A and B are shown apart, each in its own frame.
Chain A
Amino acid sequence: MTMRRIALVAVALAAGCFTATAAEKPVELRRDAGRDRVEANCTACHSLDYVLMNSPFPSAAQWDAEVAKMIKAFGAPIDEADAKIIADYLKRNYGS
């Protein structure tokens, strides 16, 4: 067993002992107008890989519906102006 492997095993064991939360890694969205609004609003509740995983297939109507669902069904506190910026960003960058 190499030193590197030993070190990694030790880190893994320590993680298992002291925390049960996932080690979230940063998700990079495409640089485009509105990305800051997506990051500021959406990441409060979920990681941004939800966007990437659901791409590039949603139609414009589906992205509108997803944003509306987050606000209406899941109570995301996003104002109307931001909601439009977010939906437009998603349609432009991750739509079909």
Chain B
Amino acid sequence: MRRMERDRSRISGGAGVNLLSRRHVLVGGGRAMLAAWSGGFMLGSAAAPGAAGAGTVHMPSGLAAGTLKEAVLDALPGKRPLIKLSWRPPNYETPVEYLRTQITPNDAFFVRYHLSDIPTIDAAAWRLAVGGDGAGGSFELTLDELKAMPAVAVVAVNQCAGNRRGLFTPHVPGVEWGYGAMGCAAWKGVRLKDLLDRAGIKKEAVEIVLEGADGPVSGGTPKFIKSLPLWKAMEETTLVAFEMNGKPLPHFNGFPARIVVPGWTGTYWMKHLVSIRAVTKPESGFWMKTAYRIPVGLFPTVARFASQETTVNMPITEMMVNSLITSHNDGATVGAGTPLVIGGVAWDAGYGIDIVELSSNGGRTWQHAALGPDLGRYAFRPFSLALGPGIRGRHTILARASNRIGQTQASQLIQNPAGYHHNVIQSLTIQVT
């Protein structure tokens, strides 16, 4: 216990709030975390043997008092302890410690559900139905039949539209996410296009409607149904994925198959997929017409979803360019004896990260960080920059990513009713002593 206490104080050492794990007796990962802590590019899998999770986890101090109080580390079946925001439906975010690598481990990947009836799927009994009034025919596939089709793989970031909602000022009601409603994985599956081609897409088809096996507990609650514009559904990288990082999808990430829409927010990545329908009229349910919408013209969105747009708002589509410093927590104290290496990950909607700039003086001057390996345009791109050595004092560190079409992270929060697309330049304070 004594060793663990020491590790905990070193890991957490910063401002904000540290959560005590309800399972801290199982903690064995403190030293492994510290090894990954010291900067440089953070490559490969973070799945260090025995790393059951940190005893404490850092939460940004900008979250609401009630969020900070209610968030605890808790392990869902098959998962490491993640940050529990709600028990039912389960909404758990990934501690920043697990975002230090380009690939997020399956058992540390965030969990997000809207509705509470989440069945355990029997792989042998599972069927995927493909059809709809916009398709020439219909068919059903078993999991084995799906897996027998030509498969492709893509490394892609899956990020909730509301990631960082908890950091909005003023706060916006909803799931009060910190930084961890995201992860990056290698997804393997069948192209959605191949399934649609097999069904035969009519020229009148406008959208592809997706449904999962999970649903509401109350008959009056709208089922979670999403649609994609035909053009996006037909892209080469839009998949029906059955593998994540070389393993079957975890239950809480959509077993046995989910939609993967690289570049687009997580709301379209339907879990526990059971139905794909080509339709000739736009999907009109709550989750398309009312939820997940942004004001027209507010964000520099390139990817359009014309059949769902109105004069005032439009469906959220692609992610905004963004970055996260993962090497240090806000308020960390480090010794001046070694260079201060600031590192993290940057991502966008697939246009490609062009540069990541860091400032150590609150934004007065900026330096280009070195970029790490490129795992594809939809993946996390690591960045790293050594400051110092010998720069004593208190430093306000900012990270700012830009992509290849000239988009840069927001310098001011872009307020919007549901709290989406938070990509404000991150600022943290590091004390070098």
Query: Which residues of A28-83 have CB atoms within 8 Å of chain B's CB atoms?
Result: 44-47, 49-50, 52-58, 62, 66, 73-77
> How many angstroms between the C-alpha atoms of A44 and B25 in the bound complex?
33
Q: Smallest distance from the beta carbon of A36 to chain B beta carbons, Å? A: 19
> How many angstroms between the C-alpha atoms of A71 and B90 in the bound complex?
21
Contacts of A89 in B (CB 8 A): none
Given contacts A20-B120, A44-B217, A62-B173, contact A52 B251 (CB under 8 A): no
Q: Smallest distance from the beta carbon of A5 to chain B beta carbons, Å? A: 6
B67 proximal to A (CB < 8 A) = yes
Given contacts A44-B218, A77-B220, contact A54 B25 (CB under 8 A): no
Contact check: which of A4, A15, A46, A62 meets B116 at CB < 8 Å?
A: A46
* A-contact 0/1 string along B162-176, CB 8 Å cutoff: 000000001101111
A50 (CB) vs chain B CBs: closest residue: B86
The reply to whether B70 and A74 form a contact with Cβ atoms under 8 Å apart is: no
The reply to whether B221 and A49 form a contact with Cβ atoms under 8 Å apart is: no
Contact check: which of A12, A24, A52, A62 meets B88 at CB < 8 Å?
A: A24
The reply to whether B76 and A66 form a contact with Cβ atoms under 8 Å apart is: no
Q: Smallest distance from the beta carbon of A65 to chain B beta carbons, Å? A: 8
Chain A contact residues, majority secondary structure: loop
> How many angstroms between the C-alpha atoms of A53 and B59 in the bound complex?
13
Q: Smallest distance from the beta carbon of A21 to chain B beta carbons, Å? A: 7
Query: Which residues of B92-151 have CB atoms within 8 Å of chain A's CB atoms?
Result: 115-116, 118, 120
The reply to whether A8 and B23 form a contact with Cβ atoms under 8 Å apart is: yes
The reply to whether B218 and A74 form a contact with Cβ atoms under 8 Å apart is: yes
Q: Smallest distance from the beta carbon of B20 to chain A beta carbons, Å? A: 14
> How many angstroms between the C-alpha atoms of A55 and B70 in the bound complex?
10
Contact check: which of B65, B89, B170 meets A46 at CB < 8 Å?
A: B89
Contact check: which of B67, B77, B85, B220 meets A15 at CB < 8 Å?
A: B77
B367 proximal to A (CB < 8 A) = no
The reply to whether A55 and B78 form a contact with Cβ atoms under 8 Å apart is: no
Contacts of B87 in A (CB 8 A): 22, 24-25, 27, 47, 49
* A-contact 0/1 string along B204-233, CB 8 Å cutoff: 000000000000111111100000000000
The reply to whether A75 and B222 form a contact with Cβ atoms under 8 Å apart is: yes
Give the A-B contact count at a CB cut-off of 8 A. Answer: 107
Contacts of B216 in A (CB 8 A): 45, 74
Contact check: which of A5, A53, A57 meets B85 at CB < 8 Å?
A: A53
Contact check: which of A8, A19, A73 meets B26 at CB < 8 Å?
A: A8
* A-contact 0/1 string along B59-95, CB 8 Å cutoff: 0000011110111001111100000111111100000
Contact check: which of A21, A45, A52 meets B66 at CB < 8 Å?
A: A52
B290 proximal to A (CB < 8 A) = yes
B299 proximal to A (CB < 8 A) = no
Q: Smallest distance from the beta carbon of B30 to chain A beta carbons, Å? A: 15
Contacts of A5 in B (CB 8 A): 25-26
Contacts of A52 in B (CB 8 A): 66, 69-70
Q: Smallest distance from the beta carbon of B49 to chain A beta carbons, Å? A: 14
> How many angstroms between the C-alpha atoms of A74 and B222 in the bound complex?
6
A19 (CB) vs chain B CBs: closest residue: B77
Contacts of B286 in A (CB 8 A): 73
B219 (CB) vs chain A CBs: closest residue: A75
Given contacts A4-B25, A45-B116, A45-B218, contact A53 B175 (CB under 8 A): yes
Query: Which residues of B21-52 have CB atoms within 8 Å of chain A's CB atoms?
Result: 23, 25-26
Given contacts A46-B88, A49-B86, A57-B171, contact A75 B66 (CB under 8 A): no
* A-contact 0/1 string along B330-351, CB 8 Å cutoff: 0000000000000000000000
Contacts of B116 in A (CB 8 A): 45-46
> How many angstroms between the C-alpha atoms of A21 and B74 in the bound complex?
13
A71 (CB) vs chain B CBs: closest residue: B220
Contacts of B218 in A (CB 8 A): 44-45, 74-77
Contact check: which of B76, B84, B173, B290 meets A58 at CB < 8 Å?
A: B173
Q: Smallest distance from the beta carbon of B188 to chain A beta carbons, Å? A: 22
Can you report 15 residue pairs joining A to B where beta carbons are below 8 Å apart? A4-B25, A8-B25, A8-B26, A20-B77, A20-B251, A45-B115, A47-B86, A47-B87, A52-B66, A53-B67, A54-B173, A55-B64, A75-B220, A75-B221, A75-B222
Known: A16-B78, A44-B218, A53-B86. 7 other contacts (CB 8 A): A8-B26, A20-B251, A46-B86, A47-B86, A50-B86, A53-B176, A54-B173
| Residues of chain B having any CB pair with chain A under 8 Å | 23, 25-26, 64-67, 69-71, 74-78, 84-90, 115-116, 118, 120, 170-171, 173-176, 216-222, 251-252, 286, 290
